[in-house]
Structure 1
Amino acid sequence: MDTYVNKINTPSTHQPTQISESTSTQPFTGKVFLVTGSESGIGRETARELARQGAAVMLNGLRPDRLLETHRLFAEEGLLVDTCVADVTNWDDCQRLVDTTMLAFGRLDGLITNASVSMRAYFNDLDIDVFRTVCDSNIYGTVYPLKAALPYLKASRGSVTFISSVSALNGLPSGSAYCAGKAAVSNLAHTLRLEWHDTGMHIGVVHIGFTRNDPDKRVFDAGGQPVPIAHRPPNLQMTQPQVAQRIARHIRQRRQITVLTGTGRLNAFMSRYFPHLADRILLWSMRRWPRMYE
């Protein structure tokens, strides 16, 4: 395993893979994407969907064994991917991640900032270091990869997609740090869209709703210990491949904002036009289904 860790942490010296732009009618043929947090979960399925639609994809994560297994599965499908272990909250790691992508594929057309951590605890009980860790993963875990990749994305007039959450639209009890981080990312996207309006770049946000996560997915409790995610009604959840397909469509159409799930879209509508009623409904749901918030 040590050999593999060194391999996927160190930019290779081989010539970039030649990316064809004309041999397929797939929508992302000839494009290169970097998907952070793509060793598992939604990030993994997004990377798979982009690769199935013709893209070359750089996979990223923190767990070498999980990243190796994802790479193996994709290679068996004939998908063009490479891997790099990197912590997206570390600036030097992000520079190395982008350098590795350029060495592997020679260009960069899209960035999906998916990597982040979440939590489930009421603010009164939440350790301040946990709050900071969650915010760092969502905010700097978006800012650092984007800043490192920016010269190449500008050159390709590429696409940037921030993975946010419907909870960023009006907040969610027991998710204060996560909601704050995702709301910051959403507003960052709006700001950058204004600043870069004449660059030809695409800046978008996808607000993820309830999703069927990996069984081993964990979030932080009040003291920073990993615990299972809160209960979610199965009938309200999208599958990970469904989410990935919607993210790919969002990128193809260069949309500014996409809100997923019917519940998510209803939440967005109610929060915008009937905020007081939306709060009353949320408070009622806390009493009716406390397992969703505890």
Structure 2
Amino acid sequence: MFNKKSTSLAGQVALITGSESGIGRETARAFCRQGAAVVLNGRQAERLESTRQALAAEGFQVAACVADVTDYAACERLVATAIAAFGRLDILITNASISQRAYFADMQPAVFRQVLDSNVYGSVYPLKAALPYLIQARGSVTFISSISALNGMPSGSAYCAGKAALANLAHTLRLELAATGLHFGVVHIGFTQNDPDKRVLNAAGQPVPIAHRPPRWQKSQAQVAAIILRHVRRRQRRTVISGLGRLILVVHALLPRLGDWVVLTSQRRLRNFYE
């Protein structure tokens, strides 16, 4: 078991979903650099293997498993990979998810469900499969959410609903499993630099580029990974990344109408990127 004063994750085993690319990949690298063994996950076999090879070449302990985290049987295989490779599991970070760029009135119901499933069951299923090992280790679970879950975001109904659900899920499990010593936390990520080929779903379920974001609002993937690492090591309950995220949290709590006005105004200015 690790605590707030620990300086190393040596001997710990972390499973990070959606770690073949992007934030998940950089989070895996950050944990490896602190001495953890890491189980990588993704749905694209070639990209996942490329990430595994790159980290292994740096001398890190890594294993990998292709698995769709919205499939419970696949999550069982994913956890089995961790146990077979390293004999234990201490940390789970549910990072894999699908985002969207579509207004609710235009979305096909199946697309809404696909996005919601990735953000809710994509966390529930890996946790359910891993829970006995995490309890045994008195370990740590972190759900990766978004600042958009704090106040909502036009064109992101299913994504925001799913990410908001994770905070309540973490709170409920914290109460249910308080006696186990298992840590449950949520990280609300803000605007982050993405891989060039990053895609989200449109109303028909087709992958499209992410909408424009001013560079000055974005953190690098490595910066976000460092914050996730600190969150886990300190066993924090909630971490809101970026000044913008913390502002949204305060405004939503104290001046919700002002928060809605700011969001709607900014969306109108950027709407040409959504059409």
Q: Normalized against structure 1, the TM-score is what?
A: 0.90
Which structure 2 residue ranges, 5 or more long, are not aligned? Answer: none
| SS, match of residue 198 in structure 1 | helix
**Structure 2 counterpart of 1:221, one-letter code:** N
Question: Equivalents in 1 of 2:80, 2:178: separation in Å?
Answer: 26
1:209 and 2:187 equivalent?
A: no
1:193 aligns with: 174
1:237 and 2:218 equivalent?
A: yes
Of 265, 271, 286, 2:246 maps to 265
Of 3, 28, 31, 1:47 maps to 28
Coordinate RMSD, CA, aligned? 1.3
Question: Could you list the runs of 4 or more consecutive aligned residues of structure 1 that deviate by over 6 angstroms after TM superposition?
Answer: none
CA contact (8 A) 1:37 1:43 kept: yes
1:110 and 2:94 equivalent?
A: no
Q: Structure 1, residues 210-238: CA drift from partner, whole Å, max 9, x if none?
A: 00010100000000000001111100000
CA contact (8 A) 1:113 1:163 kept: yes
Q: Tell me the matched-pair count.
A: 271
**Structure 2 counterpart of 1:104, one-letter code:** A
Q: Percent identity?
A: 63
**1:27 Cα deviation from its structure 2 partner:** 1.6
**1:197 Cα deviation from its structure 2 partner:** 1.5
**Which one has the largest radius of gyration?**
1
1:256 and 2:237 equivalent?
A: yes
Of 84, 88, 91, 2:69 maps to 88
**1:287 Cα deviation from its structure 2 partner:** 2.4
2:137 aligns with: 156
**1:283 Cα deviation from its structure 2 partner:** 1.7
**1:160 Cα deviation from its structure 2 partner:** 0.0
Q: Normalized against structure 2, the TM-score is what?
A: 0.96
| SS, match of residue 289 in structure 1 | helix
**1:289 Cα deviation from its structure 2 partner:** 2.9
Question: Equivalents in 1 of 2:218, 2:208: separation in Å?
Answer: 20
Which structure 1 residue ranges, 5 or more long, are not aligned? Answer: 1-20
Moved more, 180-189 or 247-256: 180-189
1:144 and 2:144 equivalent?
A: no
CA contact (8 A) 2:154 2:264 kept: no
Q: Structure 1, residues 31-90: CA drift from partner, whole Å, max 9, x if none?
A: 000000000000000011001001000000101100111011101111110111111000
